[in-house]
Structure 1
Amino acid sequence: MLLYSSLSLLLLLIAFKLFLQTKPRHKHLPPSPPSLPILGHLHLVKRPLHRYFHRLSQTYGQVFSLRFGSRLVVVVSSPSAVEECFTKNDVIFANRPRSLAGKYFGYNHTTVVSAPYGDHWRNLRRISALEILSTNRLNMFTSIRRDEVKHLLRKLSRNSSQDFAKVKLKSLFSELTFNIIMRMVAGKRYYGYGESVKGEKEAKQFREIMKESVAISGESNPGQFLPMLRWIDYGGLEKRMMGVSKRMDEFMQGLIDEKRGKEGNTMIDHLLSLQRSQPEYYTDQIIKGLIRVLLFAGTETSAVTLEWAMSSLLNHPNVMKRAKIELDNEIGQEKLIDELDISKLQYLQGIVSETLRLYPAAPMLVPHMSSNDCTVEGYDISRDTMLLVNAWALHRDPKVWDDPKSFKPERFEGDKGKTHKLMSFGLGRRACPGEGLAYRTIGLTLASLIQCFEWKRVSEEEVDMAEGNGTTLPKAVPLEAMCKAHPIVHKVLSESKHDD
Structure 2
Amino acid sequence: MAGDRFSYNYTVVGIAPYGHLWRVLRRLLVVESFSFNSLQRTSFIREEEIKMILRSIYRVSKNGSLIRVDLNYWISVFTLNVIMRMLVGRCSIREEDAGEELGMQIIKEFREMFASGIAQNLCDFFPILRWIGYKGLEKKMISLHKKRDKLFQGFIDEFQSSDTLLDKEKKALIANLLASKEKESDFLSDDIIKGIALIMLTAGRETSTLTTEWAMLLLLNHPKALQKLRTEIDNSVGHGRLVDESDIPKLPYLRCVVNETLRLYPAAPLLIPHHASEDCRVGGYDIPKGTIVLANAWAVHRDPKLWEQPEKFMPERFEAKGLMDKEEFNSKFLPFGIGRRACPGANLGIRNVSLAVGTFIQCFDWDKVEEDGELDVNFSNRMSLKKANHLEAICSPRQESIQLLSQL
TM-score (norm 2): 0.89
Tell me, yes or no, if structure 1 residue 402 matches structure 2 residue 308.
yes
Partner of 2:52: 151
C-alpha displacement of 1:301 = 0.8
8 Å CA contact 2:220, 2:366 repeated in 1: yes
Q: After superposition, where does 1:156-235 map in structure 2 within 5 Å?
A: 156-161=57-62, 162-192=64-94, 194=96, 207=107, 210-215=110-115, 217-218=117-118, 221-235=121-135
C-alpha displacement of 1:462 = 2.6
Question: Which is further off, 288-297 or 100-109?
Answer: 100-109
Q: After superposition, where does 1:108-123 map in structure 2 within 5 Å?
A: 108-123=9-24
Q: Distance in 2 between matches of 1:278 and 1:220?
A: 33
2:26 pairs with one of 118, 125, 141: 125
- Unaligned runs of 5+ residues in structure 1 are 1-99
Tell me, yes or no, if structure 1 residue 442 matches structure 2 residue 353.
yes
Paired residues, number: 394
Question: Secondary structure of 1:287's partner?
Answer: helix
Question: Secondary structure of 1:481's partner?
Answer: strand
Amino acid at match of 2:81: N
Amino acid at match of 1:492: L
Q: After superposition, where does 1:72-111 map in structure 2 within 5 Å?
A: 100-111=1-12
C-alpha displacement of 1:327 = 0.8
The percent of aligned pairs where both chains have the same amino acid is 44
C-alpha displacement of 1:488 = 5.5
8 Å CA contact 1:371, 1:384 repeated in 2: yes
Q: Distance in 2 between matches of 1:314 and 1:217?
A: 27
Q: After superposition, where does 1:59-74 map in structure 2 within 5 Å?
A: none
Question: Secondary structure of 2:395's partner?
Answer: strand
Tell me, yes or no, if structure 1 residue 142 matches structure 2 residue 43.
yes
C-alpha displacement of 1:315 = 0.9
Question: Secondary structure of 2:21's partner?
Answer: helix
Classify 1:475/1:417 alpha carbon distance in 2 versus 1 (closer, same or farther; 3 Å).
farther
Question: Secondary structure of 1:136's partner?
Answer: helix
The one-character-per-residue Cα deviations of 1:189-241 (angstroms, maximum 9, x if unpaired) are 223563789xx99x899756533334574365333344443233221111111
8 Å CA contact 1:467, 1:473 repeated in 2: no
Question: Secondary structure of 1:109's partner?
Answer: coil
Partner of 1:10: none
Classify 1:236/1:317 alpha carbon distance in 2 versus 1 (closer, same or farther; 3 Å).
same
Amino acid at match of 1:223: C
Tell me, yes or no, if structure 1 residue 462 matches structure 2 residue 374.
yes
Tell me, yes or no, if structure 1 residue 245 matches structure 2 residue 165.
no
Partner of 1:276: 182
Classify 1:393/1:206 alpha carbon distance in 2 versus 1 (closer, same or farther; 3 Å).
same
Classify 1:488/1:290 alpha carbon distance in 2 versus 1 (closer, same or farther; 3 Å).
farther
Tell me, yes or no, if structure 1 residue 303 matches structure 2 residue 214.
no
Classify 1:148/1:275 alpha carbon distance in 2 versus 1 (closer, same or farther; 3 Å).
same
Question: Which is further off, 374-383 or 393-402?
Answer: 374-383
TM-score (norm 1): 0.73
Partner of 1:37: none
Partner of 1:39: none
1:426 pairs with one of 323, 331, 337: 337
Classify 1:379/1:473 alpha carbon distance in 2 versus 1 (closer, same or farther; 3 Å).
farther
Partner of 1:474: 386
Q: Distance in 2 between matches of 1:360 and 1:279?
A: 38
8 Å CA contact 2:239, 2:404 repeated in 1: no
Amino acid at match of 2:317: R
Amino acid at match of 1:176: F
8 Å CA contact 1:190, 1:207 repeated in 2: no
Q: Distance in 1 between matches of 2:388 and 2:157?
A: 40
Question: Which is further off, 228-237 or 174-183?
Answer: 228-237
Partner of 1:71: none
2:282 pairs with one of 376, 385, 390: 376
Q: After superposition, where does 1:352-371 map in structure 2 within 5 Å?
A: 352-371=258-277
Question: Secondary structure of 2:316's partner?
Answer: helix
Question: Which is further off, 404-413 or 484-493?
Answer: 484-493
Amino acid at match of 1:160: S
Q: Distance in 1 between matches of 2:116 and 2:335?
A: 23
Q: Distance in 1 between matches of 2:140 and 2:234?
A: 51
C-alpha displacement of 1:334 = 1.1
Partner of 1:257: 157
Tell me, yes or no, if structure 1 residue 324 matches structure 2 residue 236.
no
Partner of 2:404: 492
Question: Which is further off, 453-462 or 105-114?
Answer: 453-462
Q: Distance in 1 between matches of 2:119 and 2:403?
A: 46
Amino acid at match of 2:367: K
The one-character-per-residue Cα deviations of 1:29-73 (angstroms, maximum 9, x if unpaired) are xxxxxxxxxxxxxxxxxxxxxxxxxxxxxxxxxxxxxxxxxxxxx
Larger Rg: 1
Q: Distance in 2 between matches of 1:216 and 1:331?
A: 37
8 Å CA contact 2:52, 2:95 repeated in 1: no
C-alpha displacement of 1:378 = 4.5
Question: Which runs of structure 1 show a deviation greater than 4 angstroms over 4 or more consecutive aligned residues?
Answer: 203-209, 468-473, 487-490
